[in-house]
A and B are shown apart, each in its own frame.
Chain A
Amino acid sequence: MDRFLTEKVKKAFLVIATVALFVFILFPPAVLFLTSIKTELDALSFPPKWFFQPTLKNYAAILKTSPLIGYAVNSLIVASLNTIACVVIGSMAAYSLARYKFKGSENIAFWMLSIRMMPPVAAIIPIYILMKNVGLLDTPWCLVITYLTFNLPFVVWMMKGFFEEIPRELEESAFIDGCSPLNAFIRIALPLVAPGLAATAILVFIFSWNEFLFALILTGTKAVTLPVGIIGFMKETGINWGYMTAGGILALVPVILFTMLVQKHLVKGLTLGALK
């Protein structure tokens, strides 16, 4: 009886904690969404209004009058290309670091990680000059390449862990069954880390999609991405909260869709190994 009660208390506590956590996490996006469907007057009222006549005016306005769609296309190009490049290069690098130990291979892995420790601001001026000299400024390519610097180490470290968890005998068995090392990688190792790879890809995509600092500095007009574009609603004449929040919500949609699409893999991937 006693144990039954404590179980119940435990469960109730868990539920309360979960709800509290979700309220905490979901509060900002909820406010974002609510503001996006308010009129300008409602949006600026204080204390904030919780009951109001919703409107899609903001959405209609920014889709019609601003080049938001163009920014979204830029974002999509940058994020997709970056994700593909990261996954292809990163998983191969991770595989070789996981499977082929050579003198200094641990050092290489750490050196890659150290790149991520660098504050991005420190690199921004040199990267700007570099990109200017090779004529890539204000093109999607300069962002694709720059994001590689930060995403590749992440991919390599995530994937290295996943690959290391595959029993080596699986690939050895594949060698004996007639695989070359590349074949064993593609046919055995890669399918086995697919959930992990998907999870990693999502995180990389989200990072590229949301990145602001480099996009702001390295693009001007042609290659502007969504986060930078949305900031465009901040003008000297004032901040258009309705437009900004509507833009924010529109920027969220693809990420949510993409995540939902691969959610199954995401959960599997992030718990890969824990299941063994």
Chain B
Amino acid sequence: MAGHMLDIVLKNLKKKFDNGFVAVHNINLEIAEKEFLVLVGPSGCGKSTTLRMIAGLEKITEGEIYIKNRLVNHLMPKDRNIAMVFQNYALYPHMKVYDNIAFGLKMRKIPKPEIDKLVHEASEILGIEDLLHRRPRQLSGGERQRVALGRAIVRKPDVFLFDEPLSNLDAKLRVQMREEIKKLHERLQTTIVYVTHDQVEAMTMGTRIVVMKNGVVQQVGKPLELYEKPLNLFVAGFLGSPAMNFLNARVVEERGAFFVKDDHFSLTIPRALKNRYSELKEKEVIFGIRPEHIFDKTLTDPFPNGESLKAKIEIVEPMGSVVVLVARCGTSKIIASVDSKTKARPHVEMDFLLDMSQMHLFDKEFEEAY
């Protein structure tokens, strides 16, 4: 991170609840200025707890948190100069929208004319000027979300914290707010730490993603980095929809070439990857390939590293732009996302082409990528 100013640093951060449950194990993380960092993982992975520790809403069991080079472990939330958007928006029901947005400024004893200016500025950015004199319960979900954002941006904090802000919205609104939050980030250039369980949100919004599971960071990186080079089985399966296919297989060497092999398939490992996997000879592995790297052979011209595989179609799911095929190859299930012109029908065996340059191999025991 040389050259970048660091905004938030988490050092050996740990959270153990009173009931003994360890929600976060020893997290180390450096968040650069202006970054849009997404913490993503299934529920109970410790992502929200981590965020709440940064906010000061959750006591830190061990470790240190720095915001703008200042140790904040013992600072109250109000002294950390952060803003947070909650999943249920947490608008004050007894205050009008204007007062909701102005509340943080009032608490900081900012003069009234200044407050008025700032509130109108923020509401203009979010297009909620018409709502200023309404009460939260008179607003729709999307409007509430905007007010919550307004309340956060009006204070011009060092850091924005988002705790699953879009999960209470319907699908269409979610996409729209996703774009708006992204635009807001570009406009305000403020560091954002964003928690979500939705891998699509993580992939589309984050400049960097932290994948967590059971309180442990699995991998940190740019969205495409994580997508293309997952460090372990969990990250590989978590990011991407439909999820990556995993097949039990064996690495075999025959006449100088390496294969990923099972009773029902034998796929040549590309030459370029040969050296990387040569040590796995005769080893049981998990072979991973994403659905979008599997093609309908009848619709695809042969390409380098394209390997054939026969599988019996079980389900055909037309999605419009693509067709998702659920097929079976021996005991393994394979999901392929193929061209919508496919003629695939259930219960019929068909040929697929796998783009082996996109293959992944994982250790069977430790589930780590080779």
Contacts and interface: CB of A to CB of B under 8 A. Distances in A.
Instruction: Report if A and B associate in a common complex.
Output: yes
A176 B92 contact: no
B276 interface: no
B173 interface: no
B44 interface: no
Given A172-B86, A180-B78, A192 B93 contact: yes
A104 B114 CA distance: 47
A175 B88 contact: no
Interface stretch (B22-30, B33-41, B59-67, B103-111): B103-111
Interface in A160-186: 167, 169-170, 172-180, 183
Contact of B77 (A175, A188, A192): A175
Contacts of A178: 78, 104, 107-108
Contacts of A172: 55, 57, 77, 84, 86, 90
Nearest to A178: B107
Interface residues of B, number: 23
Label chain B's interface by main secondary structure: loop
5 contacts: A176-B57, A177-B78, A177-B103, A183-B107, A191-B94
B86 A169 contact: yes
Given A188-B92, A192-B93, A177 B86 contact: no
B94 A176 contact: no
Contacts of B155: 177
A169 B107 CA distance: 18
Interface of B: 55-57, 76-78, 80, 82-84, 86-88, 90, 92-94, 103-104, 107-108, 151, 155
A193 to B, nearest CB: 10
Contacts of A179: 78, 107
Contacts of B151: 173, 177
Q: Which of B78, B94, B108 has its CB near the most chain A CB atoms (within 10 A)?
A: B78
Given A177-B107, A178-B78, A178-B108, A169 B90 contact: yes
A55 to B, nearest CB: 50
**Interface residue range, chain A:** 10 to 19
Given A178-B107, A178-B108, A179-B107, A173 B78 contact: no
B107 A176 contact: no
A175 B76 contact: yes
A192 B94 contact: yes
Nearest to B55: A176
Given A175-B57, A175-B77, A191-B94, A169 B104 contact: no
Contacts, number: 56
Interface of A: 167, 169-170, 172-180, 183, 188, 191-192
Nearest to B104: A177
Nearest to B57: A172
A228 B104 CA distance: 53
A176 B78 CA distance: 5
A256 to B, nearest CB: 29
Contact of A173 (B56, B76, B86, B94): B86
Contacts of B90: 167, 169-170, 172-173
Report, nearest first, the 6 A-B pairs whose CB atoms are least far apart: A178-B107, A177-B104, A169-B90, A173-B90, A175-B77, A178-B78
A170 B148 CA distance: 12
Contacts of B87: 169
A183 to B, nearest CB: 7
B88 A176 contact: no
Contact of B84 (A170, A176, A191): A176
A198 to B, nearest CB: 14
Q: Which of A169, A177, A179, A188 has its CB near the most chain B CB atoms (within 10 A)?
A: A177
Nearest to A166: B93
B236 to A, nearest CB: 34
Contacts of B82: 176
Given A169-B88, A176-B56, A176-B84, 18 more contacts: A167-B88, A169-B86, A169-B87, A169-B90, A170-B93, A172-B55, A172-B86, A172-B90, A173-B90, A174-B92, A175-B56, A176-B82, A177-B103, A178-B104, A179-B78, A179-B107, A188-B92, A191-B94
Nearest to A177: B104
A169 B84 CA distance: 10
A180 B76 contact: yes
Nearest to A183: B107
Contacts of B108: 178
Q: Which of B87, B88, B90, B155 has its CB near the most chain A CB atoms (within 10 A)?
A: B90
Contacts of A191: 94
A145 B93 CA distance: 36
